Amino acid sequence: MRYQIQPEDRMLVDEFRQNPYGRHSPGLLRILNRMRCVPLDGKYVLVCTKPFREWKLAIHGDRQRPIEILHDHVFTSREEAEWAVFKLRWKALTGEELN
């Protein structure tokens, strides 16, 4: 049984929001590995639509289906996209909305 997000992990959310990349606490990395270790079918990926300026969220179909680009999920920075996906995955794993 893999680790499940616990109520006290809420305190790690801010750490991710401040710094989505790099040196993370062991607790945050454990949550991120949990979120990132999911099947390709339905997995979130980013698609670069304007080099270094614009990205869109997309859903991988594990090559059973084309990559589905979500045209209303547009980001002007990759950090912004990381936070958006973190919130979606947090909701999926805990049922809880983050703001």
Partner 1 sequence: MLELLGYADRFSVAPGEVIEFKVSAFEGQRFRAEIVRLIHGDANPDGPGYKHVVVPSAIEGEYQGRNQPIEAGSSGVVPHHPAFAALESFTLLAMVWPTTPAKGRQAILALGEDLVLAIGEKCGLTGRVGSTTLESDAPLLKRHWYLAALTFDAASGRATLIQRPLHGYPGAPDAAMVSATAKGPGLADAELLIAAEGNPRRNHLNGKIDSPRLLACALSPERLEALLVRPLAADLLPDLVAAFDFAEGTRTTRIHDVGPHKLEGRLEQMPARAMKGWCWSGEEMCWWRKPEHYGAIHFHADDLHDAGWSTDFAFTVPDDLRSGVYAAHVWCGDAEDGTQEDLIPFFVRPRRGDRNRPKLAFLAPTAAYMAYANDQNHIRGEAAEMVIGRLVTYQPADIFLHDHPELGLSLYDRHADGSGVCYSSRHRPILNMRPKYSSWLGATGSGLWQFNADLHITDWLESYMEVEFDVITDEDLHAEGLALLEPYQVVITGTHPEYHSTRMWDAMRAWIDRGGRLMYVAANGWYWRIAFHDELDGVIEVRRAEDGIRTWEADPGEYHHSFTGEYGGLWRRQGRPPQALLGIGFMAQGFDICSYYRRQPDSHDPRAAFVFDGVDGEIIGDFGLIGGGAAGLELDAVRHDLGTPPHTLVLASSEAHSDIIMLVNEEFGVVPPNLKGSEHPNVRADMTFYDTAAGGAVFATGSIAWCGSLSWNGYDNNVSKITGNVLRRFLDPAPFR
Min CB(46)–partner 1 separation in Å: 4
Task: Please report, as residue ranges, which positions from 73 to 92 form the binding site for partner 1 (by CB under 8 A).
Answer: 78, 81-82, 85
Write each residue from 16 to 55 as x if it is in contact with partner 1 (CB under 8 A), else as -, in one continuous string.
Answer: ----xxxxx-x--x--xx--xxxxx--xxxxxxxxxx--x
Min CB(47)–partner 1 separation in Å: 5
Interaction between residue 93 and partner 1 (CB under 8 A): no
- Give the DSSP letter string of 2-62: -----GGGHHHHHHHHH--SS---HHHHHHHHHHH-S-SEEEEEEEEEETTTEEEEEEEET
